[in-house]
Structure 1
Amino acid sequence: MKQPYFILLMLTGLNSACMVGSYPTGNPSGGGQQYPSSGQQSPDDTYPNRYPNTNPSSGGQPGRGRTADPGVTVNSIRLTRDYTILNLTYTDQNKPSYDRNGRQVSTGTIGFDPTGYLVAANGARTFAFVKVEGIPVKKEQLNPATGKKVLVGRNTFPGDQIAFTLYFERLDKGLENFDLFECVNDQYICWNIYNLHVDNPADQVVYTPPTTPTPVPPRSSPAPKNQKLPQVSGESGGEMETPKAKPAPVATVVTVSGVVSDAKNKRPVTATIDYQLSASKQVLDSVQSFASTGIYRMSLAKGQVYTYVASARGYQSASGVLDLSKVAGGQKLTRDIALTPLAVGDKITLKNIYFEMSKSDLLSASFAELDKLAAMMQDNPNMTIRLEGHTDIIGDHDKNGQLSRDRVIACQRYLAQKGIDLARVQAVGYGDTRPILTKGTDEERKVNRRVEFVILAI
């Protein structure tokens, strides 16, 4: 019987099975690494092998979310000034397993991969892992029996309930729905968790233009009618009190400017830059760069986080984040933008395209990348492309081919929903026939799982 290795990993690219876990860790009857069962310690015996069932209350809001592994429960979600904190419980649901001496053996190992992250705003914002409490961070260690590197962590036994806490960067204010993405391994059951929610209201954005103070008339000028003269000290001949100066208005905006240029020849480019609050799905406004200089300028409310997309005819769209949450009003920031020109025959990998585990259903975290592609095709109405789907070399060949086809068709349909004519988008699934790497670890081969598009005409 195989022992699963449950470990959180980062989900990137096109996964033919979005999972974290199920790592074969040493049952002699199964694959994977093997450790002697008679007293010799495994590499992870720095952690006790047995733990009491634990599920402490950690405060915060009750956890909500849909997990890819039924053994993982979201207990609570909490926000502090610096962190987004998830308290989870893993339950080892495997059946008991015994060695030849009748002793119960570990059926799993858990740990957390520090490349995991949270994603929100339909994929436009990601928040990195900071630390974990209750389980170890994933590490690789050389197995002396095989000479290969293996993943090690904390052993679990059937029925064990292990509570642990994950810390990530704090969500932008206003972002309340997010996902936890981990793994790129076709053999593991990932602890991916979708549709997480936390109450995180946005600050009210109020822009008050600065006012011009009313000038004080000089003392030698006659006072306007009905104006009350300033009081004087003493009965007569005293000095006039100097009127108190009005406080200077507090700056509430940050000026962001820069140059949009061609990434290859550095020449200025006329581009449209759409920007919005990170927590919003609607474009807040847009500005254009000057044709002669490529210079653009926009005034944004301080204390907010914005995302933007810069697009121009004949160029790939570029996106980014403007984090003004800790920037004082009145400051000026520079953000130059380089756009890559498009050419027939170019092959471009779509980053951050996510699907349900072993399915072709697009997750919302994919929308930001596909929206960029749709905007690019709208800016270039003669552009036609071929979407190409690829899987890793692991698994059934025919199933990989079908899965890759289904997934690029899902991307094709999304573009059609955004107004792109289906005649402009071909879809081909190559499955495992065109891998980038054929050797190496699963983490190294994750580049094989991808969605690309080739420009056919422009």
Structure 2
Amino acid sequence: MNLKSLLVFFCAIGLFNTSFGQTTENPKVEEQSADYVKIKRVELTEQYTIVYLQFTEHGSSAEPALPRGFKLPPDFKLPPNMGKSSSQIWLDPETRLYKPGEINTKFKLIRAENIPTSDRRTVSKGEKVDFVAYFERLTPGIETFDFYEGRSKQGQQSWNFYGVSVKNPPKKPIKALSKAPVKPKAPIQKPEPPKKEDVIISKTPEPAEEEEMAVIKGTVYDAKTKQPVSAQITYLENGDSLQYRSTSGTYRIGLDSKGKYNFRIGAKGYYGSNLEIAPSDSSGKKNFYEGSVPYAAGQR
């Protein structure tokens, strides 16, 4: 009697855990646009994809640089605002999760906690901010996604994470334990034609078109050794000069699918290279991928 009860109890636990999704601690991220923001955990529930993040404000030194061997008097006090640094953070309400390579498979931001989405929050040097973003539930079976906040603008750095790996196995079909008795079908009755005053004609408004995004990715490498090179990519968008830095040599950048870009690739000790990109010329594909970018041969 005790053994039977114990087995039933364990079965109940197994069914409970399966129905409430998965949790991934410190998920693997292939590439990200800012190293001072990290994803700590991703939790998948029946309703949401919950992303836990942490922002760290590095700032600058709070004390002035002094000549070697020089010391300030014990009673010396810094001016009130000297050495202090701060920045403002927020989460773009248009942030989406995407299935890599499928621009139409996206999951909207529902809400955010401990970070604003309509105004700004000021943070000071050394401060850490833990915040949470709730998205629509990832379709079971999607175990890699892109966290895309938007394209960086002048004076504003977007937080984009590419290739985030999580536990999200596909659903298994549920086998029926027993067949329910078949109810006799009711005789089909022909509906009466609606009266003229009962007919209502309505028109469903067409959804507004969303801005399409193209993605360019690849690798910057030495033309002779074929080894990846730490590089900086500079380009113009809507009159703003934007920069993308990659310590690993790999890059992944979101672009306007209708735009035309001229990329300038530079690295310390190398000649620069230029690359022209027009996502709309990529055979009509919604996603546009560019292969590895070779560097000019030889070092300076």
TM-score (ref. length: structure 1): 0.34
Which has the higher Rg, Structure 1 or Structure 2? 1
Which is richer in strand? Answer: 2
